Amino acid sequence: MTEKMSRKDFLKAAGASLMIAPLALEDLDSGQRSPVQELGKQKGVAVDVRRCIGCKACQVACKAWNKLPAEKTEITADGEYTNPTYFSGITWKIVHFKEIGDYDNEVEGTGGLKWRMMSDNCKHCMEPSCVSVCPSGALWKRSDGPVLYDVDRCIGCGYCTMACPWGVPHFDDEIHAIRKCTMCHDRIDQGLEPSCVSVCPTDALKFMTLEEAKRTATEAEAHGLYTYGLDEVGGTSWIFVSDVPFSEFGLPEYTSVTQKGYETDLLVKFAGAGLFVGGALLAAIKLYAERRESIAKEGGD
């Protein structure tokens, strides 16, 4: 039995996510080798929503590896278990929880409902909008997959947050720059899996080559399952498979939208905002000029 198998078996037995955190921390530094040793090859992560048990070990591991502080969370009025519900400069990983009508499963006594959970983060797009809008060149796509950034080059304009189809990058007040998931590029460089993948006790997250991730999703699609990331906005390095539509987790549908189409839409919005601001500015200048003229006529100062 491999070291990885033993750890996962132990995690399965341990069960509770509170127990998983310290184990994950210990394991992250143990120098395990990932199954993807071919450095330079495009990497991908296959996410299988059906396997996720919502333990949030991935969330904890992300915080631990990237030394991110805890986020103040709250229980929402509708009993939402997704917590936090949003990405921020210090929350790079979210686990969406959704109770869904399970009409095929009524006989099993689930009351016609089932839970589905989805581990979510920056999807490391093939043609990232965040990269293309950044005016200071602070973001870039690495040839093997991760979309990275240089905090020293970030000017804090927030265009990447607006441009990202999922609102992933966020400004961090502490470091005065945007921050987001880096796909654990520092671990990949050492032949390791991203930290979230390495602790998932059910293999809901699997690190592989992009080619394998795409093949896994294409096969799932052929069996009637839903996929996300094969085509969306030009394709992504994190590819998701589910037995329920991704709209259940609040993910927008971009199935027929290419990255270019998405960006054109975005430009129209930016242009619209620009025209509005420009129009308001012109109106203010006109008012100011008229007021000056009337004061001058009245002989005022």
Interacting residues toward ligand SF4 by CB under 6 A: 52-58, 95, 117, 119, 122-125, 128-130, 147, 164, 166, 168-169, 180, 199-200, 202, 204-205
For ligand SF4, give the closer residue by CB, 36 or 228.
228
Distance of CA 114 to the CA centre of its chain: 24
Question: Could you tell me how many helices (H) and strands (E) the chain has, helices first?
Answer: 9, 10
Q: Least Å distance between CB 169 and ligand SF4?
A: 5
For ligand SF4, give the closer residue by CB, 130 or 138.
130
For ligand SF4, give the closer residue by CB, 36 or 197.
197
Q: Least Å distance between CB 293 and ligand SF4?
A: 49
- How is residue 128 written in tokens? 């990232």
Backbone angles phi, psi at 13, to 5 degrees: -70, -40
Q: Least Å distance between CB 178 and ligand SF4?
A: 9
Distance of CA 115 to the CA centre of its chain: 21
Taking CA atoms, 257 is separated from 19, 39, 230, in Å, by 42, 31, 12
For ligand SF4, give the closer residue by CB, 36 or 131.
131
For ligand SF4, give the closer residue by CB, 68 or 112.
68
Q: Least Å distance between CB 286 and ligand SF4?
A: 39
Cβ–Cβ under 8 Å, residues 90 and 51: no
Q: Least Å distance between CB 14 and ligand SF4?
A: 12
Q: Least Å distance between CB 52 and ligand SF4?
A: 3
Measured between alpha carbons, how far is 214 from 260 in angstroms, rounded to an integer? 21
For ligand SF4, give the closer residue by CB, 119 or 242.
119
Q: Least Å distance between CB 240 and ligand SF4?
A: 11
Q: Residues, the chain, total?
A: 301
Measured between alpha carbons, how far is 148 from 154 in angstroms, rounded to an integer? 12
Cβ–Cβ under 8 Å, residues 202 and 51: yes
For ligand SF4, give the closer residue by CB, 109 or 143.
143
State the pairing for strand pair 43-48/238-242.
parallel
Backbone angles phi, psi at 285, to 5 degrees: -65, -40
Burial of 248 (0-12, 13-18, 19+ CB in 10 A): middle
For ligand SF4, give the closer residue by CB, 261 or 278.
261
Measured between alpha carbons, how far is 99 from 71 in angstroms, rounded to an integer? 24
* Residue 250: count of CB within 10 angstroms of its CB: 13
Q: Least Å distance between CB 254 and ligand SF4?
A: 11
